[in-house]
Amino acid sequence: MLPLVADLRRLPTLLVGEGPQTARRLRLLRLAGSEPALFAPSPAPALRAVLGSARAVRRLPDTGEIAAARLLLVGDFAATAVDVAALAAGGPPAPPPRG
């Protein structure tokens, strides 16, 4: 774990995931003043419950969308495709999801 401090209101952020962990991350990002671009190919009920008026893009982000972001958070699903896209965009792979 690396503690970071960032003004998320001004940081282009992507959130990728489908379930409860992604829902928690979305709530935390919103509390920090961020409204991330949310990519959820198949949003679970827990995530749909916290979306509110936001809209989830029902696919994984492409390399251009990842390259434009300054922060990429991956929620609770297999992130292999996101890892490949992140590497293609010149970034590091996402860490594995934690239980």
The answer to the question of residue 39 being in a domain is yes
Amino acid 93: pLDDT: 61
What residues make up the domain containing 38? 10-88
Amino acid 36: pLDDT: 93
Amino acid 92: pLDDT: 64
Between CA 7 and CA 28 the distance in angstroms is 13
The answer to the question of residue 4 being in a domain is no
| 33 token code pair | 């003043």
Element (H, E) at 81: helix 80-88
Using pLDDT thresholds of 50, 70 and 90, give the confidence band for residue 1. low
Amino acid 77: pLDDT: 65
Between CA 53 and CA 51 the distance in angstroms is 6
The answer to the question of residue 20 being in a domain is yes
The answer to the question of residue 25 being in a domain is yes
Amino acid 47: pLDDT: 92
pLDDT in tens, 38-92: 999 889 999 999 988 778 899 888 888 988 999 988 887 655 566 656 655 666 6
Amino acid 86: pLDDT: 66
pTM of the model: 0.76
**How many domains does the chain contain in total?**
1
CATH number at residue 54: 3.40.50
The answer to the question of residue 57 being in a domain is yes
Using pLDDT thresholds of 50, 70 and 90, give the confidence band for residue 99. low
The answer to the question of residue 5 being in a domain is no
